């Protein structure tokens, strides 16, 4: 398995965002199927991890982002898996709306363009921190139960 619980959670939040922003019945039907598949994948992943079918070292795949930390402060990611999952969903909502600005980038005033690009970068860093923290906590909880 090349994915982690954090990555699967990330995908589920994006499916939910697409559902929220769509009105097309065919698209909504497709997204509902994707949501069910993703929920099943998450359940199977968790069950496999608990049973030991997934080795502890494969429960996380750190993003290991390399970036200039000075001037790129990213919100702390702390709390339980549920709290971090909620933060991930919030970050993905913010990312969605910031990304919408890029689709019509020519309409963004010149003096705001740098801020849009910077926000996308910072939100993506926070998103990766959330994914990594979900994975870290999940691996730790599995490790302490074995």
- Parent domain of 35: 5-145
Q: Is the pLDDT of residue 120 over 90?
A: yes
pLDDT reported for residue 1: 46
pLDDT digits (tens, 9 = 90+) for 16-27: 999 999 999 999
The CA-CA-CA angle for residues 7, 126, 81, to 5°, reads 55
Alpha helix locations (H) across the chain?
A: 5-20, 25-51, 81-103, 110-145
**How many separate domains does the chain show?**
1
* Higher per-residue pLDDT: 82 or 75: 82
In this prediction the pTM is 0.90
Stretch 56-65: mean pLDDT: 80
Average pLDDT of the chain?
92
Burial 65-76 (b: 16+ CB within 10 A, else e): eeeeeeeeebee
Tell me the two tokens of residue 47. 């069950």
pLDDT reported for residue 146: 66
């Amino acid at each position: 398995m090349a994915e982690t619980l954090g990555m699967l959670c990330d995908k589920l939040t994006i499916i939910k965002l697409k559902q929220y922003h769509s009105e097309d019945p065919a698209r909504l039907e497709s997204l509902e199927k994707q949501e069910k598949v993703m929920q099943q994948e998450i359940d199977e992943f968790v069950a496999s991890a608990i049973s030991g079918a997934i080795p502890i070292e494969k429960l996380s795949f750190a993003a290991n982002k390399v970036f200039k930390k000075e001037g790129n402060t990213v919100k702390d990611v702390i709390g339980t898996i549920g709290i971090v999952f909620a933060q991930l969903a919030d970050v993905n909502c913010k990312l969605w709306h910031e990304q919408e600005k890029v689709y019509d980038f020519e309409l963004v005033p010149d003096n705001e363009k740098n801020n849009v690009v910077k926000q996308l970068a910072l939100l993506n860093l926070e998103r990766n921190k959330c994914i990594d923290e979900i994975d870290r906590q999940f691996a730790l909880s599995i490790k302490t139960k074995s």
